[in-house]
Structure 1
Amino acid sequence: MQSIPVDMTRLGAMTCIVAPEARIANRETGEVRKDREGQTVYTVGVAVRQEGRRASIIEISVSGEPVGIVEGVRVHVTGLTAFSWAMGDRHGLSFRADAITPAPAPAPASAGSRKSGDA
């Protein structure tokens, strides 16, 4: 697999749309996937909104359960890498991150930024 680092400065708002779920390694036995250090690998569904109305939905794998990530929360993704894969006639990209954390809440608009006439 070829790894491709993702330039996070080019991505817009990211929102969790599917809460973290342990990634299954073997569907028959229910065994969960572990990383090299023995941590459970989780998958998080994230909507990435770029310029305007354009949005993409990606699943991102991360080691260890992301704390504070629930559906609808804005997220901050650290160390995002894409991997190209091919299996027979199928091919695509998968995504892995070093961490997924809740994004800081945006600062409230100051009173001085209101339009004139607003009370």
Structure 2
Amino acid sequence: MQSIPVDGTRLGTMTCIVAPEARVANRETGEVRKDRDGQTVYTVGVAVRQDGRRASIIEISVSGEPAGVVEGVQVHVTGLTAFSWAMGDRHGLSFRADSITPAPAPAAPAASRKGSDS
């Protein structure tokens, strides 16, 4: 599997569209996937919107439950890496991140001064 670092700053706006869910390692037993340190691996569905109307949806795996990440919130993804994979006739990309956190809310515009000019 080839790993490809991704420059998240060039991806545009990222919004959580599927809240974090524990990734299942074995569907028959319901066992969840753990990382090397024993932390549960979560999957988050993220919509990536670049300039204009172009948008993509990717699933990103991350170790540990991302606090504060819920559907509809813009997110900040740190340490995003893509992995190319192939299994038989199937192939694709999977994504992993060091962390996914809610993006800081944009600053509210300053209230305009109200007053009479007459």
Instruction: Please give the TM-score of this superposition, normalised by the length of structure 2.
Output: 0.92
Distance, in Å, in 2 between the alignment partners of 1:111 and 1:69 is 29
* Partner of residue 50, structure 1: 50
SS in 2 for 1:9: helix
SS in 2 for 1:44: strand
Distance, in Å, in 2 between the alignment partners of 1:93 and 1:82 is 6
Distance, in Å, in 1 between the alignment partners of 2:27 and 2:100 is 25
Residues paired across the two proteins, number? 112
* Partner of residue 108, structure 2: 108
Distance, in Å, in 1 between the alignment partners of 2:32 and 2:16 is 21
Deviation at 1:111, TM superposition (A): 4.3
CA deviations 1:2-32 (Å, max 9, x no partner) are 0000011211110000000000000000000
Deviation at 1:79, TM superposition (A): 0.3
Deviation at 1:110, TM superposition (A): 2.8
Q: RMSD in angstroms over aligned alpha carbons?
A: 0.9
* Partner of residue 115, structure 1: none
Instruction: Tell me which stretches of 4 or more aligned residues in structure 1 moved more than 3 Å.
Output: none
CA deviations 1:29-83 (Å, max 9, x no partner) are 0000000000000000000000111000000000000000110001000000000
Which has the higher Rg, Structure 1 or Structure 2?
Answer: 2
Q: Quick check: 1:32 aligned with 2:32?
A: yes
SS in 2 for 1:110: coil
Q: Quick check: 1:87 aligned with 2:73?
A: no
Q: Quick check: 1:21 aligned with 2:8?
A: no
* Partner of residue 59, structure 2: 59
Q: Sequence identity, in percent?
A: 88
Instruction: Please give the TM-score of this superposition, normalised by the length of structure 1.
Output: 0.92
Distance, in Å, in 1 between the alignment partners of 2:95 and 2:9 is 16
Unaligned segments of structure 1, at least 5 residues: 113-119
Distance, in Å, in 2 between the alignment partners of 1:7 and 1:100 is 14
Paired AA for residue 26 in structure 1 = N
Deviation at 1:84, TM superposition (A): 0.1
